[in-house]
């Protein structure tokens, strides 16, 4: 069974995110300027010191006003998996420039497999010292096709991937019993449990 949904990026769990999942079904594909920006990083911007109305579903920079094109869905095959590209900029994914600036990593550069920075990896801005310490990311789903109807009460986490964000191409498992979405699709949101360096205040 295929379960269509729309993807919107939610970074509610972190304050200084600099990575987000990209997919052609996402809100704000090509940015929020109104013209196509293949170097869009509008969904990546940190959500910090904002009111809930501002940070919820990235409203402060109008991400919900830029829905995916008609018919673009992220397919959620029940019992199987789906794949997104976690990146710091759309230009570093397969969605822009034929993928020529994409690498195995989220920022188009190359790093050792055992990449480790005892303070914190800041290039890319992963908020972890190494892969083992990466705290994980999650996708949640709301069974509505109307982004205005998505609330903390009807948005439910359905899959997590430990030790991410790490590499660009990242897959998440879909539960076998995943119910089908309405014909207009569901709304999906992504969140990141950021590991907090000891130097940052506890609310970040
Ligand atoms: C990952 O970072 C933690 C914290 O600095 C460290 O204790 C651990 O040894 C590191 N692991 C690897 C595989 O580098």
The pair of three-digit structure tokens given for residue 94, joined into one six-digit string: 């397969």
Q: Percent of the chain, pLDDT > 70? A: 86
Tell me which residue has its CA closest to atom 2 in ligand 1. Answer: 129
Segment 52-67, tens digit of pLDDT: 999 999 999 999 999 9
Element (DSSP H or E) covering residue 83: strand 81-87
For ligand 1, say whether the CB of 117 is within 6 Å of any of its atoms: no
Tell me which residue has its CA closest to atom 10 in ligand 1. Answer: 130
For ligand 1, say whether the CB of 98 is within 6 Å of any of its atoms: no
Which SS3 state, helix, strand or coil, does residue 82 take? Answer: strand
Other CB atoms within 10 A of residue 182 CB:
12
Q: How far is the CA of 197 from the centre of ligand 1 (A)?
A: 13
Segment 28-56, tens digit of pLDDT: 999 999 999 999 999 998 788 899 999 99
What is the atom index within ligand 1 of the atom nearest the CA of 128? 2
Half-sphere exposure of 47 (CA within 13 A, CB side): 26
Q: pTM to 2 decimals? A: 0.89
Q: How far is the CA of 160 from the centre of ligand 1 (A)?
A: 22
Q: How far is the CA of 83 from the centre of ligand 1 (A)?
A: 27
Other CB atoms within 10 A of residue 3 CB:
20
For ligand 1, say whether the CB of 129 is within 6 Å of any of its atoms: yes
Q: 140 phi and psi, to 5 degrees?
A: -120, 160
Q: How far is the CA of 117 from the centre of ligand 1 (A)?
A: 8
Across the chain, what does the average pLDDT equal?
A: 89
The rounded distance, in Å, linking the Cα atoms of 195 and 189 is: 19
For ligand 1, say whether the CB of 130 is within 6 Å of any of its atoms: yes
The rounded distance, in Å, linking the Cα atoms of 92 and 97 is: 9
More confident residue, 193 or 30: 30
Quick check: bond before 62 cis, omega within 30? no
The rounded distance, in Å, linking the Cα atoms of 142 and 146 is: 9
At 204, is the pLDDT very low, low, confident or very high (cuts 50, 70, 90)?
A: very low
């Amino acid at each position: 069974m295929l379960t269509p949904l729309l993807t919107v990026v939610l970074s509610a769990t972190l304050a200084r995110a600099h990575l987000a999942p990209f997919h052609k079904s996402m809100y704000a594909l090509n940015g929020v300027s109104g013209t196509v920006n293949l170097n869009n990083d509008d969904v990546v911007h940190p959500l910090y010191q904002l009111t809930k109305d501002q940070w919820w579903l990235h409203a402060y920079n109008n991400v919900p006003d830029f829905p995916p094109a008609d018919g673009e869905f992220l397919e959620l095959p029940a019992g199987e998996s789906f794949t997104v590209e976690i990146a710091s900029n759309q230009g570093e994914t397969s969605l822009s420039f034929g993928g020529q600036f994409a690498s195995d990593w989220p920022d188009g550069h190359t790093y050792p497999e055992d990449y480790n920075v005892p303070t914190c990896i800041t290039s890319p801005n992963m908020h972890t010292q190494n892969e083992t310490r990466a705290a994980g990311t999650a996708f949640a789903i709301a069974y509505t096709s109307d982004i205005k109807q998505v609330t903390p009460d009807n948005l439910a986490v359905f899959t997590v991937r430990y030790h991410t964000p790490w590499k660009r191409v990242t897959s998440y498992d879909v539960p076998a019993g995943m119910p089908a979405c309405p014909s207009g699709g569901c709304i999906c949101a992504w969140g990141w449990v950021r590991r907090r360096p000891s130097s940052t205040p506890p609310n970040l």
